[in-house]
Structure 1
Amino acid sequence: MSKARAAADPAADEGLTPRRNPDLTGQDEAERLLLEAWNSGRLPHAWLIGGAPGIGKATLAYRFARFVLAQDADGDGLFGGSAPATSLHLSANHPAFRRVASGGHADLLTVERQRDDKRNRLKRDIAVDDVRKIGPFLHRTSAEGGWRVAVIDGADRMNVSGLNAILKILEEPPNKALLLLVSDNPGGMLPTIRSRCRKLALKALSEDTVVKLLMEHRPDIPADDRPALARLSEGSVGHAIGLADAGGLELYRAMIGLLSGLPRLDIAAAHAFGDTLTRKTDDGVYETATELLVWWLARFARALARGAWPAEVVPGEAALMTRMANARSLERWVEVWEKVQRLFARAESANLDRKQVVLNALAALEAAAS
C-alpha cells in the first residue's frame, strides 16, 4: 500500500484525526439515520459503517460515540430532556468530547491496528488480544452509569480469531452497549457478522466538498491543485491529503505527460520516469505512481465501456484516451490493465527490479497503442 493510500485512514492532518474532529461534512444522510435510530428508543447494538477510506467513517463513529456517551444514565436527551435529538454534534469544550479526544473516557474502548516501530508503519492486522478485550469491557458496569461504547477502526483488518471473538459478542449483546465497526471493505467480513449488524454505507464526498475540506484543513496545498486532487481521490479527502503529501499530483502529471506520446513513447523520458520512481526504496513514490497508473487504466476502461470520457484531472487526458480507444478495443485494454496489475503485484512479491517493472508496464501500453 502506498503512503498516499495509507494516509487516507488515519488522515495526515491533526484537525482531521477522527477522535478529535468536531465536524463532519458531506455525510448528512448517515447522521440522519443514526439520529433516527437513537430517537426511536430501539438503537441497534452493533453498526457496520462502511465505505471508501478517507470519507469520514471513523469521524462519524467517534461523533456518534461521543453523542451516546454524553447522554445521562437513563438514556434521555443530551440535556436531560425528552425532546428528540436533532444533531450528533458535541462542542469541543464538552467534557465527553475532551475525554474521548484524549483517549481517557472510561466507557469508550478503541481497537485499531498498532504501529510497528521497527518498520515505522501500521501493522497489517489488528491484534487478536486487543479484540478480545471488547467482550469483558462491554459486559462490565458503566463507569458513568450510562452506555459503554467500543469502536473498531479498520474492522476488516481482524484475523479469523478476532472475527470469531466479535461474533460471540454479537450473539449475546450486553444491555446498553454499543459496538461500532468501521470498515473499508465490509463485504469481505464474515456474513454472520454482517447479518448481526445494522449496515451504514457512506458515500464518497462530492468534489466540491473535498475542495472545501482541503481549503479548511490544508491551506498549504496550492488552490490550483485542490480540484485536481479532489478528482484524483474520487471523493476521499483523506486520500487527497495523502496524495498531496506524497507528491501524487506531480507524479500523475508526469505520467500523463509521458503517456501522451503514445503510440510512441519517448524512451529517454520513460527511463527518467523510472529513475524518479526508484531513486529510493522507502519513500513511497514507486507505490504511489504504480497505484495511479493502475487506477488510470481502470478509469479509462470504465469510460470506454460507457462511451464517454470523464472530466480531466489534468489537461490532455481526453485526447490521450481518444487515441488509445481508436487503437484497440475495450477487451484489449482490459487485458492490458489486468496485465499491468499482475506485473506490479508479482514485482512486489518477488522483489523484482522496480525500474524494469515500470519500463515493462509502459512497454505493454505502447505495444497495445501501436
Structure 2
Amino acid sequence: MPWSTPTLRDVRTLVRDAVNASLPGADANIPNSVLRVMSDNQGALCHLTLQYVDWLSLQLLPDTAETEWLDRHGDIWLANADGSTGRKMATLATGTGQFQGTIDGTVIPAHTQLQTGVSLPSSVTGSINQLVGFETLEDITTSAFATVEGPIRALDPGSFGNLPDGTEMDMPVVVPGVSSAAFAFGLHGGTGIETDDQLRARILQRIRNPAMGGSQADYVTWALAVPGVTRAWAAPEQGAGTITVRFLMDDLRASDDGWPTGTDINTVDAYIEKMRPVTVKDCYVLAPIKQFMDITIANLVPDTAEAQAEIEQSIRDMLFQVAAPGQTIYAAWVSFAIMNAPSVISFNLVTNTDFVMPSLGHMAVLETILYE
C-alpha cells in the first residue's frame, strides 16, 4: 500500500504508547507530566524528520524537483550547445553599431558604452521603459564623410538586448569628434535564463528518449540544447534517409508567434551538423510554415471583453500544447479550449470543421477570433 505520512498528533500518540509500553506502570498521557512533555517533544522532532523525508522524496525525481535539485538533474542528463550542462544560461545579444564621426579619423575606444530605452513587461503597469546598456568590442576608427560599423554587444544577458535594425542609441559619455547618436543593426542572440518548466521538460524528454546515436528524438534533443529554442520536432519529411528539424523560440521571438529568424535557423543547423551522424543523407533545419486559423464564435454568453480575452488565451494555450508541424487541429479541441475559459457559460462554434494542415511542415497559428 502507498506510504502515508502520519500527522503530528498521530506521531505524538505513537511515542506516548511506546513510552507506556517500555515503562510498566508509567502513564505518558497525564497532562503536564514530565513523561508527557518529553514524549511530545520527541514526537515533534520525529515528525520534522518525516516532513523532511516527504520533501526529499519530491526532489529525487525531476518531475517534482525544486529549482536547486532540478539543476542537479539537469547537470546529470543534459548537454547544451555551448558545452555546458544543465540549465541553459542567459546569453548576450551581439551585433553591429553604426557610427558617424565629426572629425575624420577619430577612434572610438573598445568598451565604449552605449544605451537605449526599451519597453519591458511589468506585472503592475503592463510595460516599463528601461535603459539597456551596450558596449563596443574593439577600437572603431570613424570618418567624417561616411558612417562606419563596428561590433557591439549588450552589457547584460537577456532578450531585451535584441533590437530592431536601425534602433538609435546614445553615448552616455560622448567621445570628442564622434556623433553621440549611433544605430544598431543585427543585434540578436540575447536569451533569458531557462525557466524551471522548460528545463524540466527537456530533462523528461531526454529521460524518455535515451540517446540512440541519431534517432528522431536525438534531433529534437539537439535542437532544444540551443539557447532560445523552446519547442522542436523532427520527421523524415523528405523521405527515407532524410530528417527535417523544425523548431520555435517562444520567448525570444514572442512578437512573431515564436517563429525563428534566418540567423536562428543557421545557429541550430550549425549545432546539429556537429552532432548528427554522417550516415544521414540529408538534414534540413527549417522553421514551421505558418497556417493561420480564423475562428468564428456565435451567441457567446457572457459576451464581454473579459470573456473574449480569456477565450483567446485559452486557445493559445491549447495550441502551445498540441500544435505541431503537420498536426490537424480538431474542432473538438477548439471547443474544449473555449469552454475552459473561466467566464464562458455557453457559445456556438461556427467554424466547426477541423483545421487540416496543407503539408507536414505547416503548423497552426491563431489569427483572428470573430464574434457574431
Q: Normalising by structure 1, what TM-score?
A: 0.24
Bigger relative CO (Cα 8 Å, ≥ 6 apart): 1
Tell which structure's C-alpha radius of gyration is larger. Answer: 2
Structure (1 or 2) with the greater strand fraction = 2
